[in-house]
């Protein structure tokens, strides 16, 4: 079966945050959802659940648990047990729960910037201190800077927040990079929260290695956060989960949800099960389409956008554009005036005016028009 990623679905008349944040006519390539309908198998499962007609309080259905366990085994060769799964309505919630669960007020949480902004905010919301250590850009890719990480550790450092694959720099970290990171976390006795929400969106022929799967000792200090939301484009359905193998760690993580974190809604469970059980043919075609979009962006930036550079995106549908040479005070505001909404880099922990993030999870026609607008914007300066 061929799936259609080319048709432009009008989201303006819907509840889309992405499409309603800016005036009509602006092409929104900012917040990380895609403009594609979910896989038909997911939509069919949702129809079935809606037809049932009763929407009382839910709990994780056995089928969703089986689907997650099978997914981890088949996709990553990672054997997990059903009781390790802690359901969550979102990964940002998961970051906040992890920040609250471990350590004391004023303890420090390390993360590597640039990074998805809630990594920087969650520790602060939970009365911890965020310590941001810049990734090092080496040629065409961003890497951990172990010397800088070592320097950042203090007696109050308790946790490491890992983004793997990394939003916004699009890296899939290799075993050769993860092993020294694991050694670093073990040396300093850090609890690791590994946000792996983008792990099924790897565009290059490299495997995703769940951080916790590297060794049992590492698993014992790791909370893995995953979800079908990014890959199958169902983030509005709010279904995510943590995998915590260590019972002691889990006993600290679970109650930190308190009575603030709501249960996953029943439609989210239905979507999650269908996505993991039946979504693979759709995902394969999505990856091929995104690869085409990724290549289009990289080539276009190199040829047509003077003063803009980017690095190779191995995973995600996000490009991190270095616009520092343009010397614009507010690059996102500048491009918005020319009809394209990008994410400003500043909340990701980089200096004002240096980077913007572009979301290429959209039909090719939308992307082509948006990039042409960026080109015209630069030509008109």
Ligand X SMILES: Cc1ncc(COP(=O)(O)O)c(C=O)c1O
Question: Binding residues for ligand X, per CB under 6 A?
Answer: 32, 90-92, 116, 163, 167, 195, 197, 227, 229, 235, 240
- The distance of closest approach from Cβ of residue 90 to ligand X in the complex, given in angstroms and rounded to an integer, is 3
Pairwise CA distance, residues 352 & 356, whole Å: 10
- The distance of closest approach from Cβ of residue 225 to ligand X in the complex, given in angstroms and rounded to an integer, is 7
Nearer to ligand X, 130 or 375 (CB): 130
- Lateral strand order in the sheet of 129-134: 85-88, 240-243, 222-226, 191-195, 157-163, 108-113, 129-134
Nearer to ligand X, 92 or 323 (CB): 92
Q: How far is CA 35 from CA 1, 117, 349, in A?
A: 20, 22, 27
- The distance of closest approach from Cβ of residue 103 to ligand X in the complex, given in angstroms and rounded to an integer, is 21
Query: In this structure, what is the dihedral angle of CA atoms 208, 267, 91, 205, given to the nearest 10 degrees?
Result: 20
- The distance of closest approach from Cβ of residue 73 to ligand X in the complex, given in angstroms and rounded to an integer, is 23
Nearer to ligand X, 131 or 225 (CB): 225
Residue 40 CA from chain centroid, whole number: 23
- The distance of closest approach from Cβ of residue 214 to ligand X in the complex, given in angstroms and rounded to an integer, is 20
Sign of CA dihedral 24, 317, 299, 321: positive
- The distance of closest approach from Cβ of residue 224 to ligand X in the complex, given in angstroms and rounded to an integer, is 12
Nearer to ligand X, 46 or 227 (CB): 227
Residue 299 CA from chain centroid, whole number: 24
Q: Report the residue number whose CB is nearest to ligand X.
A: 90
Pairwise CA distance, residues 80 & 59, whole Å: 20
Nearer to ligand X, 242 or 305 (CB): 242
CB-CB contact of 317 with 34 (8 Å): yes
CB-CB contact of 184 with 150 (8 Å): yes
Nearer to ligand X, 193 or 213 (CB): 193
């Amino acid at each position: 079966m061929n799936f259609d990623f080319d048709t432009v679905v009008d989201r303006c008349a819907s509840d889309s945050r992405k499409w309603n944040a800016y005036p009509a006519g602006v092409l929104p390539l900012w917040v990380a959802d895609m403009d594609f309908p979910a896989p038909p198998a997911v939509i069919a499962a949702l129809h079935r659940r809606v037809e049932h007609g009763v929407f009382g309080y839910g709990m994780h259905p056995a089928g969703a648990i089986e689907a997650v366990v099978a997914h981890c085994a088949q996709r990553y060769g990672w054997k997990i047990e059903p009781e390790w799964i802690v359901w969550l309505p979102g990964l940002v919630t998961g970051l906040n729960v992890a920040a609250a669960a471990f350590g004391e007020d004023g303890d420090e949480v390390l993360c590597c910037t640039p990074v998805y902004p809630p990594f920087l905010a969650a520790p602060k919301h939970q009365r911890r201190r965020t310590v941001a250590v810049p990734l090092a850009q080496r040629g065409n890719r961003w890497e951990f800077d172990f010397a800088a990480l070592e320097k950042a550790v203090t007696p109050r450092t308790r946790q490491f927040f890992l983004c793997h694959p990394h939003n916004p720099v699009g890296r899939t970290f290799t075993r050769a990079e993860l092993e020294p990171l694991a050694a670093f976390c073990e040396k300093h006795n850090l609890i690791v929260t590994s946000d792996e929400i983008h792990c099924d969106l790897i565009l290059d022929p490299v495997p995703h290695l769940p951080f916790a799967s590297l060794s049992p000792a590492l698993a014992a200090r790791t909370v893995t956060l995953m979800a079908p939301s990014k890959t199958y484009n169902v983030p509005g359905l709010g279904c995510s989960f943590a995998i915590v193998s260590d019972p002691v760690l889990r006993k600290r993580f679970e109650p930190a949800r308190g009575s603030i974190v709501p249960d996953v809604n029943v439609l989210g469970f239905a979507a999650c099960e269908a996505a993991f059980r039946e979504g693979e043919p759709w995902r394969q075609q999505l990856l091929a389409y995104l690869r085409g979009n990724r290549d289009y962006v990289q080539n276009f930036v190199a040829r047509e956008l003077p003063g803009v550079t980017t690095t190779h995106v191995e995973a995600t549908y996000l490009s991190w554009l270095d616009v520092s040479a343009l010397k614009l005070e507010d690059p996102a505001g500048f491009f918005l005036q020319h009809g394209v909404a990008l994410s400003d880099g500043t909340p990701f922990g980089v200096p004002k005016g240096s980077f913007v993030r572009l979301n290429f999870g959209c039909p090719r026609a939308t992307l082509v028009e948006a990039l042409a607008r960026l080109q015209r914007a630069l030509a008109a300066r």
